[in-house]
């Protein structure tokens, strides 16, 4: 969207732990800017209207829909994507569990699913299957049918409690 | 002809998929994660009407918007691209008019691409769409398939005498006599609503035409890159060798991504015309409007049963909503034929009659979608079976037990023309009863009912036609490859690289192929790298459709691996001055009969590649091996299974909640049981979506699509999908080395039927029944008489 006639604004934020300043088109949503402005393609775009959860990123410690927030609204925020969460190792147990349990197939929903699951486990270290299903009910997965994902979150929770 | 496989081999092991390590770290590279230097972004102007004549009166305002490079219409693309028409020798006389990448003068479905803007960004391209001056003259639209057959229905395409695209009648045995002597005849009318695949990654194209080389390179999110190479070469009039199609990580397919779409062709043509790379990725409303839909059928079906409760005959009449065109290149009619060939498939019967009318509509074309047609045939059959069991006052599972084909009766070609072979209904039923623990499950259900809960248990017997051979599309004259090719090569360090014509779309076939090559050659999977999805890198073959990867691609991998192994052992024997028969290759080591290591594969490879002067004269080892597999027998590999669904119906809201689901399937040898189980589970939930939630709805008055967002098009989510128990019986296919059959679609085949039967089991307590899918709250409340 780098066209001279495109209205833009400057933002400053912490992205995956690094301070960053950028000029962003006013109308560009956060996930598009992360993907195309910053090259962080691990966050995906599935519906652009806040239903599917493929665009989940963490903003100031909360998982949000990256398609329902403008990039300019991230000014001053701490933003973490799947790339940042991977680097810090904070979702390692979940990533291992998803890998081992085949809790992903095409993998397009997986980054958003992992961030949402991590938020659940941060507040509820021993969720029931029903609680896991409710926590992930805003993340669409066409491939797995969810059963293996629920298993994987249970397994990761057990590892983290041990 | 099954090979004896090593007991401690890799085939049959539940290994996690190596490729998913990248995906869990967000390192997948899907279509929209790629860009090309100098690319233009595209946006389509699509018809807002189901049927309209149009004239583009002004494109100057759009063209002169800063950042816009071009505004293209159908006429502009003519020099760059041919038009096409869907034809099939299998469906002689099929009516499907000529199509181009953009509509010309008339749009015949909502969402049909009409014009194309190329700009510096997608946002600017979309801004420009609004500036295109276009005069629409809305025309009467035919959307309901039954109404579209009426003599006074609006014509879907101008000048056609009727909206009937194709009709046929087929069967076998004496249907009239069977119904005449029946002790019981059950019948029903079932209505199936359109739905679609909704892969989370939508379709798109990044096309780069090189005018100097006269060559096209295009990235697609597609299940069959080689098929697209064939058709893009044809449509752009290029030699196949100058068309390279690349599908990287693919975010789900489900049949949606196995067709030739006008928009993807338009992007390739635009790149050729503009001499620059062009990128377009479908947004969600485009996907819901313009991806193929599927399964719009009205089935009238009846079944004749004798006094002993044995099925005598089926008589079915299917009206299929086809859409505005028969999908290119395979034809939308395939879905209906598949549905009609699936009716009665698990059972023994004497006579069959099927009538089909495929109807043109002013709606997006329908096409092959996961478990093509099977769920329609299965649900129709299982509904009739339940009606018969109820009329006889017997347990629905007992009725099925009596009528399921026994192993000793096979092979058998049934009156519908379906060849049933190597099925295990009896063994599968035994495993199914063990898995369900029916006595305690029935007690549990009785206890819930005693509390006033409206719960139901439903069964579905499944037969699926998988892994289509050359006899499926070959005689139809459609260039669809039913072969697979695998090339394996030994690298100097002892690693093996495999290039395969199968396509990875998340189902895990790369992992399956790696495990086969590991056993075939004698190296660990960790030393094998596999490449698929790039026609510039992988040999020609079938890609991902019809659950074919294991049964066809697996055979090619085994053949190539065995050839490479023979070359390796031959070279090793020469160096070690022994015979190949005295040696074996295990985990990358050449060993002798006692298992003692004699030569590391890495050393052998290095010797051959770097120290050839040390080799004996005349030794010319071929460390690249190829195998192409074409099945000569059995057009399809039939598989079988049983499913059960336990549901609860809320009589006040009409909401159906699936509580649990069980599957026992027989897909032959499983290359990787973990991945097979998850294919089954994912397929089941897709079928539950079909049964309870998913519908592409159109306003009956003006034909407008009402389900253009995921808030309107409902999908199964984690909180409305049940846990699924999966069991297996293994009857390896005898006609191949590995014995694998198809596994990826069986879950979707049987789940809608099982859920339908479960809901009706629950509603039976209120004397009600549903015969329409999806079984929405409104459908349930109408059945209960709460709603008119």
Strand stretches in B123-214, DSSP E: 133-138, 164-172, 184-192, 195-196, 204-210
Identity of the residue in A102, A107, A109 whose CB atom sits nearest the CB atom of B16: A102
Q: Name the residue in chain A with its Cα closest to that of B200.
A: A46
Q: Which of B290, B315, B346 is the last residue of a domain?
A: B290
Q: How many CB pairs under 8 A join A and B?
A: 190
> Is residue B163 scored above 70 in pLDDT?
yes
Residue A5's pLDDT is what? 80
- Could you report the per-residue pLDDT of B276-327, keeping only the tens digit for each? 999 999 999 999 999 999 999 999 999 999 999 999 999 999 999 999 999 9
Query: How many Å apart are CA B472 and CA B478, to the nearest integer?
Result: 10
| Closest residue, chain A, to B122 (C-alpha) | A1
Rg of chain B over CA atoms, in angstroms? 28
Shortest CA gap A159–chain B (Å): 18
In a 13 Å sphere around the CA of B725, the CA atoms on its Cβ side amount to 15
The pLDDT value recorded for residue B7 is 81
Peptide bond into B411 cis (omega under 30): yes
**Same domain? B381 vs B427:** yes
**pLDDT reported for residue B278:** 98
CATH 3.10.20.30 corresponds to the domain A8-85: yes
Do B26 and A5 lie within an 8 Å CB cutoff? no
Residue B185: pLDDT over 70: yes
pLDDT at position B659 over 60:
yes
B720: its two tokens: 């409305």
* Bridging pattern class, strands B583-586 and B528-531: unpaired
Q: How far is A100 from chain B (nearest CA, A)?
A: 5
Calpha distance B662→B678 (Å, rounded): 13
Q: Render pLDDT for B361-390 as a digit per residue (tens, 0 to 9).
A: 999 999 999 999 999 999 999 999 999 999
Residue A123: pLDDT band by 50, 70, 90 thresholds?
A: very high
Q: Which residues of A touch B682 (CB under 8 A)?
A: 105, 142-145
Q: Which residues contact B637 (CB under 8 A, 6 or more apart)?
A: B465, B466, B467, B551, B668, B733, B741, B742
With respect to residue B160, please indicate whether it lies within any of the assigned structural domains. no
3-state secondary structure of B380: helix
| C-alpha Rg value of chain A to the nearest Å | 16
Helix (H), strand (E) at residue B430: helix B425-436
Which chain B residues have a beta carbon less than 8 Å from that of A114? Answer: 24
CB B512 within 8 A of CB B520: no
Q: Is residue B194 part of a domain?
A: no
8 A C-beta contact, residue A96 and residue A68: no
Averaged pLDDT, B105-114: 98
Residues of A in Cβ contact (< 8 Å) with B719: 133-134, 136-137
8 Å CB contact between B719 and A137: yes
What is the C-alpha to C-alpha distance for residues B683 and B721, in angstroms, rounded to an integer?
12
Interchain contact, A3 vs B66, CB within 8 Å: yes
Cβ atoms of residues A98 and B16 within 8 Å: no
| Contact: A86, B721; criterion CB under 8 Å | no
pLDDT in tens, B419-476: 999 999 999 999 999 999 999 999 999 999 999 999 999 999 999 999 999 999 999 9
Handedness of CA B570, B572, B575, B579 (dihedral sign): negative
**A-chain residues near B16 (CB < 8 A):** 99-102
Joined tokens for residue B410? 């096979």
The whole-angstrom distance between B688's CA and the closest CA on chain A is: 10
pLDDT(B247) > 80: yes
Query: A108 vs B252: CB contact, 8 Å cut-off?
Result: yes
> Which of B200, B683, B723 lies at the smallest CB-CB distance from A52?
B200
Based on the number of CB atoms within 10 Å of its own CB, is B626 exposed (0-12), middle (13-18) or buried (19 or more)?
Answer: middle
Q: Helix/strand/coil (H, E, C) string of B245-269?
A: EECCCCCCCCCCCCCCCHHHHHHHH
**Mean pLDDT, chain B, as a whole number?**
97
Of A48, A142, A145, the CB nearest to B252: A142
Using an 8 Å CB-CB cutoff, list chain B residues near A40: 26
CA of B22 to nearest chain A CA: how many angstroms apart? 9
Please state the domain extents for chain A. Answer: 8-85, 90-161
Number of C-beta neighbours around residue B357 at 10 A: 22
- Residue B1: is its pLDDT beyond 90? no
Same domain? For B267 and B299 the reply is: no
User: Is residue B343, in this structure, part of any structural domain at all?
Assistant: yes
| Dist. CA B636–CA B467, nearest whole Å | 6
Interface mutation vs chain B, best among A66, A105, A114, most B CBs within 10 Å = A105
Which residue shows structure tokens 């191949």? B736
B32–A35: do the CB atoms touch at under 8 Å? yes
Minimum mean pLDDT range among A2-11, A50-59, B36-45: A2-11
| Residue B18 with chain A: CB contacts under 8 Å | none
What single DSSP character describes residue B276?
A: S
List the strands of the sheet with B454-466, edge to edge.
B454-466, B637-649, B656-666, B723-728
Note whether B114 and B45 are within 8 A (CB). Answer: yes
Contact A109 B200 (CB under 8 A): yes
Are B247 and B363 within one domain? no
* pLDDT attached to residue A2: 62
CA distance B158 to chain A (A): 35
Percent of the residues in chain B that have a pLDDT greater than 90, as a whole number: 99
Q: What is the average pLDDT across B29-48?
A: 98
The chain A residue lying nearest B68, using CA atoms, is A3
CATH of domain A90-161: 1.10.150.120
- Whether B264 and B84 have beta carbons less than 8 Å apart is answered as no
Token output for B87: 């034809």
- Residue B576 · residue B532 · CB < 8 Å: no
Residue with tokens 């009516």: B95
Q: In this structure, are B621 and B716 located in the same domain? A: no
Predicted local confidence at residue B6, as pLDDT? 80
Average pLDDT (A10-29) is: 98
Give the phi and the psi of residue B713 in degrees, each rounded to 5: -90, 105
pLDDT of residue B553: 98
Q: Are residues B354 and B434 in the same domain?
A: yes
Residue B616: is its pLDDT beyond 90?
A: yes
Q: Do B719 and A106 count as a contact with CB atoms less than 8 A apart?
A: no
Chain B residues within 8 A of A51 when measuring between CB atoms: 709-711
Report CB contact under 8 Å: A140, B717: yes
pLDDT band at B44 (very low <50, low <70, confident <90, very high): very high
Q: How far from B219 is each of B30, B57, B204, B281, B704, CA to CA, in Å?
A: 10, 33, 8, 11, 32
pLDDT of residue B690: 98
In a domain, B6, yes or no: no
Of the residues B237, B268, B290, the one at which a domain ends: B290
The count of structural domains within chain B is 3
Are residues B398 and B343 part of one domain? yes
Q: Give yes or no: residues B343 and B451 share one domain.
A: yes
Could you give the 3-state DSSP secondary structure of residue B693? Answer: coil
Q: Which residues form the domain of B730?
A: 293-470+633-783
Domain containing residue B495: CATH number: 3.30.365.10
B62-71 per-position pLDDT tens digit: 999 999 999 9
Whether the Cβ atoms of residue B369 and residue B256 lie closer than 8 Å to each other: yes
Contact call for residues B177 and B107 (beta carbons, < 8 A): no
Contacts of B29 in chain A (CB under 8 A): 41
**Residues B669, B579 within the same domain:** no
Is the pLDDT at B532 greater than 90? The verdict is: yes
Chain-chain contact of B66 with A139 (C-beta, under 8 angstroms): no
Q: What is the pLDDT of residue A1?
A: 54
**pLDDT > 80? residue B136:** yes
Assigned domain for B599 exists: yes
Specify the pLDDT at position A3.
75
DSSP, res B700: T
Summarised one tens digit per residue, pLDDT across range B319-351 is 999 999 999 999 999 999 999 999 999 999 999
* Sheet strands side by side (includes B52-58): B106-107, B52-58, B133-138
| Distinct helix (H) and strand (E) counts, chain B | 20, 31
Residues B508 and B427 in one domain: no
pLDDT classification of B3: cutoffs 50, 70, 90: confident
Q: Residues B688-741: pLDDT tens digits? A: 999 999 999 999 999 999 999 999 999 999 999 999 999 999 999 999 999 999
Q: Rounded to an integer, what distance in angstroms lies between the CA atom of residue A108 and that of residue A47?
A: 12
In this structure, the answer to whether residues B763 and B752 fall within a common structural domain is yes
Mean pLDDT of B167-191: 98
Q: How many Cα neighbours within 13 Å face the side chain of B84?
A: 25
Q: Which of A49, A83, A145 sits opposite B685 (nearest CB)?
A: A145
CB contact under 8 A, B123 and A114: no
Give B24's contacts in chain A (Cβ within 8 Å): 95, 98-99, 104, 107, 110, 114
pLDDT digits 0-9 by tens, B490-511: 999 999 999 999 999 999 999 9
Q: What share of chain A is helix, strand, coil (3-state, %, to 5)?
A: 40, 20, 45
Residues B703 and B772 in one domain: yes
Beta bridge partner(s), residue B725: B662
pLDDT tens by residue, A106-116: 999 999 999 99
> Closest to B682 (Cβ–Cβ): which among A2, A48, A144?
A144
Distance from the first to the final alpha carbon of chain A = 48
Report residue B670 as tokens: 């499983």
Please tell me which residue of chain A has the smallest CA distance to B123: A1
* DSSP helix/strand/coil, B785: coil
Which chain A residues touch B20 with a CB distance below 8 Å?
98-99, 102, 104, 107
Partner residue facing B24 (CB), from A49, A98, A108: A98
What whole-number distance in Å separates Cα of residue B321 and Cα of residue B341? 18
pTM recorded for the entire structure: 0.98
When CB atoms are compared, the residue of A41, A48, A143 closest to B283 is A48
Residue B40 tokens, joined = 């233009």
- Residue B510 sits at the vertex; the CA angle it makes with B505 and B512, to the nearest 5 degrees, is 120
Q: Give me the DSSP letters along B475-506.
A: TTT------EEEEEEE-TTS-EEEEESS--SS
In our burial notation (b when 16+ CB lie closer than 10 A, e otherwise), range A97-136 reads bbbbbbbbbbbbbbbbbbbbbbbbbeeeeebeeeebbebb
The CA distance from A34 to the nearest CA of chain B, in Å, is 12
Q: What is the pLDDT of residues B589-602, one digit of tens each?
A: 999 999 999 999 99
Q: Which residues are bridge partners to B528 per DSSP?
A: B496
Interface test with A, best of B14, B16, B25 (most A CBs within 10 A): B25
pLDDT at residue A119, rounded to an integer? 98
Q: Residue B563 pLDDT more than 70?
A: yes
Whether residues B606 and B718 fall in one domain: no
Nearest 10 degrees: Cα torsion B357, B358, B360, B362 = 110
Q: Look at residue B614 and tell me if it is in a domain.
A: yes
């Amino acid at each position: 969207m780098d066209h001279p006639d495109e209205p833009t604004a400057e933002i400053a934020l912490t992205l995956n732990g690094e301070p960053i300043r950028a000029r962003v088109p006013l109308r560009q949503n956060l996930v598009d800017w992360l993907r195309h402005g910053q090259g962080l393609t691990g966050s995906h775009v599935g519906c652009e209207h806040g239903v599917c959860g493929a665009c989940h990123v963490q903003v100031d410690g909360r998982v949000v829909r990256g398609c329902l927030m403008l990039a300019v609204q991230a000014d001053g925020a701490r933003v973490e994507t799947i790339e940042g969460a991977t680097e810090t190792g904070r979702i390692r147990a979940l990533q291992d569990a998803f890998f081992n349990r085949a809790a992903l197939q095409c993998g397009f929903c997986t980054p958003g699913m992992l961030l949402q699951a991590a938020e659940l486990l941060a507040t509820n270290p021993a969720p029931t299957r029903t609680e896991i299903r409710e926590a992930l009910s805003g993340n669409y997965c066409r491939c797995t049918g969810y059963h293996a994902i629920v298993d994987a979150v249970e397994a990761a929770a057990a590892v983290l409690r041990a | 002809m099954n090979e004896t496989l090593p007991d401690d081999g890799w085939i049959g092991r539940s290994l996690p998929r190596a490729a998913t390590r990248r995906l869990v770290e967000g390192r997948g590279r899907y279509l929209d994660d790629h860009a090309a230097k100098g690319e233009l972004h595209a946006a389509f102007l699509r018809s807002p009407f189901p049927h309209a004549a149009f004239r583009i009166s002004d494109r100057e305002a759009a063209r002169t918007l800063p950042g816009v490079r071009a505004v293209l219409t159908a006429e502009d693309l003519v020099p760059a691209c041919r038009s096409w028409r869907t034809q099939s020798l299998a469906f002689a006389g099929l009516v499907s008019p000529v199509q181009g990448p953009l509509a010309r003068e008339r749009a015949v479905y909502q969402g049909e691409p009409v014009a194309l803007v190329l700009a510096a960004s997608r946002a600017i391209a979309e801004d420009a769409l609004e500036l295109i001056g276009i005069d629409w003259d809305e025309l009467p639209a035919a959307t309901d398939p039954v109404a579209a057959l009426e003599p006074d229905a609006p014509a879907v395409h101008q000048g056609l005498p009727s909206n009937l695209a194709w009709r046929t009648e087929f069967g076998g045995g004496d249907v009239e006599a069977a119904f005449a002597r029946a002790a019981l005849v059950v019948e029903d009318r079932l209505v199936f609503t359109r739905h679609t695949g909704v892969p989370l990654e939508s379709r798109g194209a990044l096309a780069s035409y090189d005018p100097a080389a006269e060559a096209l390179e295009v990235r697609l999110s597609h299940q069959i890159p080689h098929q697209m190479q064939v058709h893009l070469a044809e449509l752009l009039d290029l030699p196949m060798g100058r068309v390279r199609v690349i599908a990287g990580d693919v975010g789900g397919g489900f049949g949606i991504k196995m067709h030739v779409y006008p928009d993807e062709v338009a992007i390739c043509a635009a790149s050729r015309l503009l001499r620059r790379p062009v990128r377009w990725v479908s947004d969600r409303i485009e996907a819901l409007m313009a991806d193929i839909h599927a399964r719009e059928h009205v089935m009238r079906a009846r079944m004749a049963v004798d006094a002993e409760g044995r099925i005598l005959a089926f008589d079915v009449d299917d009206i299929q909503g086809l859409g505005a065109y028969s999908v290119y290149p395979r034809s939308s009619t395939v879905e209906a034929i598949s549905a009609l060939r699936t009716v009665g498939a698990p059972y023994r019967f004497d006579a069959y009659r099927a009538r089909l009318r495929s109807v043109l509509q002013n709606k997006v074309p329908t096409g092959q979608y996961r478990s093509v047609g099977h769920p329609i045939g299965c649900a129709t059959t299982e509904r009739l079976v339940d009606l018969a069991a109820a009329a006889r006052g017997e347990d629905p599972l007992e009725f099925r037990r009596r009528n399921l084909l026994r192993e000793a009766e096979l092979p058998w070609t049934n009156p519908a023309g379906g060849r049933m072979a190597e099925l295990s209904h009896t063994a599968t039923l035994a495993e199914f009863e063990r898995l369900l623990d029916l006595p305690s499950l029935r007690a549990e259900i009785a206890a819930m009912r005693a509390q006033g809960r409206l719960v139901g248990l439903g069964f579905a017997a499944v037969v699926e036609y998988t892994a289509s051979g050359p006899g499926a599309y070959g005689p139809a004259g459609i260039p669809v490859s039913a072969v697979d090719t695998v090339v394996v090569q030994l690298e100097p360090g002892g690693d093996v690289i495999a290039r395969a014509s199968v396509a990875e779309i998340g189902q895990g076939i790369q992992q399956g192929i790696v495990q086969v090559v590991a056993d075939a050659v004698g190296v660990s999977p960790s030393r094998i790298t596999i490449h698929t999805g790039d026609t510039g890198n992988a040999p020609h073959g079938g890609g991902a459709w019809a659950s074919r990867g294991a049964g066809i691609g697996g055979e090619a991998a085994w053949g190539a691996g065995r050839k490479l192994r023979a070359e390796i052992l031959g070279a090793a024997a020469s160096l070690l001055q022994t015979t190949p028969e005295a040696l074996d290759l295990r985990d990358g080591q050449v060993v002798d009969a006692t298992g003692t290591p004699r030569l590391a594969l890495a050393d052998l490879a290095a010797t051959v590649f770097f120290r050839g002067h040390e080799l004996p004269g005349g030794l010319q080892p071929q460390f690249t091996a190829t195998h192409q597999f074409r099945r000569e027998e059995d057009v399809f590999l039939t598989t079988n299974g049983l499913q059960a669904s336990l549901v609860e119906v809320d009589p006040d809201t009409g909401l159906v909640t699936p509580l649990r689901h069980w599957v026992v399937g027989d897909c032959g040898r499983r290359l990787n049981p973990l991945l097979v189980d998850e294919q089954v589970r994912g397929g089941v939930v897709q079928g539950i979506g079909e049964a309870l939630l998913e519908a592409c709805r159109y306003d009956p008055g003006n034909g407008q699509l009402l389900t253009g967002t995921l808030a309107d098009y409902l999908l199964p989510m984690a909180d409305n999908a049940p846990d699924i128990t999966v069991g297996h019986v293994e009857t390896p296919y005898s006609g191949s080395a590995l014995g694998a059959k198809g596994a990826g679609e069986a879950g979707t085949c049987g789940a809608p039927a099982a859920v339908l039967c479960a809901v009706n089991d629950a509603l039976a307590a209120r004397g009600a029944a549903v015969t329409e899918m999806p079984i929405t709250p409104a459908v349930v409340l109408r059945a209960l008489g709460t709603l008119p």
